[in-house]
Amino acid sequence: MTAVRISTGIRASRNQAIVDIKISLCHLSSMELMLTQLRACAEPTRLRLLALMALGDFCVVELTDILGQSQPRLSRHLRLLVEAGLLERTREGSNAWFSLAQTGLGRDLAAKLPAIDATLQADRRQAERVLAERARAATERFRRDGAEWDEMRALGLPAETVEAALLADVEMLSLPAGATLLDIGTGTGRILELLAPFIGSGLGIDASRTMLALARSRLSRARLRHCSVRQADMMRLPLPDASFDLTILHMVLHHSETPGAVITEAARMLKPGGTLLIVDLAAHERQDLTRALHHRWPGFSDADMRRALTSAGLQAMPAAAISGPIDIAIWRATRPAGTTPAAFALEAASVHD
């Protein structure tokens, strides 16, 4: 009998422990994998769970509320679905969040469940209630903890112009069908929402649970079921090398203690031929704003950014500039085809020699 191997890796950092659960269904043929997944969902509650996950990410507490079942019972069903590769599980503080797996039968099965089924319709109504409560709680928490967090507005920057320029850059990339996007420092999830039409799947990473709650609400309202978010440290992303066609750092680096290290980690995420887009402040002398908004860096010069991109093993392209009270720049770089993450270190060493 072929074994299903489940490996759990735990990475500790100064600020948090990131539990990275990796499901490996290696050694299974395509038919064996299909049978494993079909057996896993051949139970009413598990089919209901798949249908719910098509609406977005949910934690166990929310699922017990929606389905009216005990947490131990639901946890067992969820575990079986995760082990079969139909769902993905991520840890965020004390909560475990579940979402449809990006690959496998989960999404196809969820899409084919009958929408007119009375039980599924009742579940959907309960889920919409829970999502509305989640949105209200996130908004209140944001009002209490984050107040009017809108950096572009605080800086007097033309957000619409910046977004239009970013969209134009993405359109020129000619991303492959089913392209994968990683938004590092996703905040409220706006970039995921903006670029959703161009991608097959999108993942947003943020360290703030307040921001993640807002991002989840935004994605749920927009019904962007191919996008999800999770909590992680952008310096130590719990993700495999070369996983994404497009990685974005939008207004993130000037808050980082070590922007070069963040760029190197973002580069690690890129598939060969993949692109990193960085939207950030150009170098400026507005120390008043730097202090008021707790920025770590007063923007970046084009020369400094190009050096950082080259040190990460990327090929830097000409930057685009957007004028404003403080200029914004969009830097673009690609990972050369045929390179590996190990080549990044070699490239960095040659640059600094």
For the cut 70, the answer to whether the pLDDT of residue 152 exceeds it is: no
For the cut 80, the answer to whether the pLDDT of residue 155 exceeds it is: no
Which residues is 227 bridged to in the sheet? Answer: 202
Per-residue pLDDT tens digits for 47-75: 999 999 988 889 999 999 999 999 999 99
Per-residue pLDDT tens digits for 262-285: 999 999 999 999 999 999 988 887
Pick the closest to residue 265 from 324, 348, 195 (CA basis). Answer: 348
Measured CA to CA, the distance from residue 245 to residue 282 in angstroms comes to 25
The predicted pLDDT at position 227 comes to 93
Measured CA to CA, the distance from residue 250 to residue 227 in angstroms comes to 17
- pLDDT band of residue 286 (cuts 50, 70, 90) is confident
Does 220 or 292 have the greater pLDDT score? 220
Does 103 or 4 have the greater pLDDT score? 103
- Quick check: pTM over 0.75? no
| Residue 149: other Cβ atoms inside 10 A | 16
The predicted pLDDT at position 333 comes to 96
The predicted pLDDT at position 91 comes to 82
Per-residue pLDDT tens digits for 130-143: 988 887 776 666 65
The predicted pLDDT at position 9 comes to 34
Q: What is the mean pLDDT of residues 38-46?
A: 91
The predicted pLDDT at position 33 comes to 81
The predicted pLDDT at position 339 comes to 67
Q: Are 55 and 225 in contact (CB under 8 A)?
A: yes
Of 106-110, 283-287, 332-336, the least confident = 283-287
Q: Are 271 and 204 in contact (CB under 8 A)?
A: no
Per-residue pLDDT tens digits for 188-220: 899 999 999 999 999 999 988 888 988 998 998
- Distance set, CA 311 to CA 39, 68, 111, 256, 305 (Å): 48, 53, 44, 17, 10
Does 81 or 345 have the greater pLDDT score? 81
Beta strands, E only, the chain = 5-12, 17-24, 58-59, 87-92, 95-100, 180-184, 201-206, 227-231, 244-250, 270-281, 315-316, 320-322, 328-334
The predicted pLDDT at position 153 comes to 65
For the cut 70, the answer to whether the pLDDT of residue 236 exceeds it is: yes
Q: What is the mean pLDDT of residues 82-103?
A: 85
- pLDDT band of residue 21 (cuts 50, 70, 90) is very low
Residue 261 identity (one-letter amino acid): A
Average pLDDT, the chain: 82
Q: What is the mean pLDDT of residues 161-169?
A: 92
Per-residue pLDDT tens digits for 294-327: 677 888 999 999 999 999 999 999 899 888 778 8
For the cut 60, the answer to whether the pLDDT of residue 17 exceeds it is: no
- pLDDT band of residue 111 (cuts 50, 70, 90) is confident
